[in-house]
Amino acid sequence: MGMNGVLRPGHAAIRVLDLEPAVTYYIEVMGLIETARDDRGRVYLKAWDEHDHHSLVLREADSPGLDYMGFKVVDDATLDAMAAGLAARGVAIEAVPAGEHVGTGRRVRFRVPTGHAFELYAHKDIVGNGMPTMNPGIRPDALKGIAPVRLDHALMYGADLDGTVALFTEVLGFQVTESVAAGDTVIAAFLSCGAKVHDIAFVRQPADGKLHHIAFYVDSWDDVLRAADTIAANDVSHDLGPTRHGISRGQTVYCFDPSGNRNEVFTGGYMWYPDRPPLKWTADELPRALFIHERKLRDSFMSVVT
């Protein structure tokens, strides 16, 4: 079975307090590449190995946080079918016209029960990864900073975790790869739309619509360590790591952008195939599930969201 529905996280649109310091951070420290600015003042960026036009959109606002996250689907027919599936569940659909994002086709926007806005779309202009597709190289020259290969996943906080997970699994074709439960109550769910260990995750918390982090992928543990060196060298606000998660087995370091949005630099994690048994954790093992070495919860990590 190939991927025939939602392909991957396509973009995160986040709010920043001051645009230019944010752009400088995402280019010089995170190592993303600016691809466009629009007449609404938004700045579009991509990770170097993404071929599509952008994966991060920055907008200046009075408070940080997530405006919406977009997922790319395989084609227009899938976009229409998923929009119809959402509508059939009583989810309000907003049609966003082609071109509202630079280089992007029509989008379908909707809000999930945890209060977050998501989008689906089938087209984004291909701008390439800085190397030819015929006889390519390994890595373009002149990358800056951490230089992740892609936007990987995001983790969000909200109250009605069950409602959001139901939409993602029953309408959008995601699978829960790992979860944490207190008795019968799921308090965290990690979901995949393909072969990655997670593409989106939700934690049950009373405040809706909150962003815990967006994550960028690097190729190795060495790259995570180098990312931490870059975070330190640039005096960026550090959260925790480098360390390893129990959930996903991923290796990680966390920091904050200049507006306080948490970023993760992530690598590893096992392959997810649809016949793999999901992993379950009990709430009393949450410290080990989050940080398998320290086995301690960190207040700032648990409570700081945008």
Q: What residue ranges bind Fe ion (CB under 5 A)?
A: 215, 264
- 121 is an active site residue: no
Residue 173 near residue 6 (C-beta atoms within 8 A): yes
How many other C-beta atoms can be found within 10 angstroms of the C-beta atom of residue 132? 9
Marked catalytic residue, from 50, 119, 178, 264: 264
Marked catalytic residue, from 153, 157, 212, 217: 153
Please, what is the minimum distance in Å from the beta carbon of residue 71 to Fe ion? 16
Residues 152, 217: Cα–Cα separation, whole Å = 6
Nearer to Fe ion, 42 or 213 (CB): 213
- 123 is an active site residue: no
- 54 is an active site residue: no
Which among 189, 183, 185, 181 is positioned nearest to 165, based on CA atoms?
Answer: 189
Nearer to Fe ion, 105 or 269 (CB): 269
Residue 85 near residue 95 (C-beta atoms within 8 A): no
Nearer to Fe ion, 52 or 264 (CB): 264
Using CB positions, name the residue nearest to Fe ion.
Answer: 215
Marked catalytic residue, from 54, 101, 116, 245: 245
Residues 188, 12: Cα–Cα separation, whole Å = 21
Looking at residue 236, the DSSP 8-state letter turns out to be: P
Nearer to Fe ion, 73 or 155 (CB): 155
- 153 is an active site residue: yes
Please, what is the minimum distance in Å from the beta carbon of residue 57 to Fe ion? 20
- 28 is an active site residue: no
- 213 is an active site residue: yes
User: What amino acid occupies position 16?
Assistant: V
Please, what is the minimum distance in Å from the beta carbon of residue 155 to Fe ion? 5
| β-strand pairing of 210-217 with 238-244 | unpaired
Q: Which helix (H) or strand (E) holds 11?
A: strand 6-16
Marked catalytic residue, from 53, 123, 212, 213: 213
Please, what is the minimum distance in Å from the beta carbon of residue 254 to Fe ion? 8
| β-strand pairing of 43-46 with 56-60 | antiparallel
Catalytic machinery residues: 153, 198, 213, 245, 254, 264
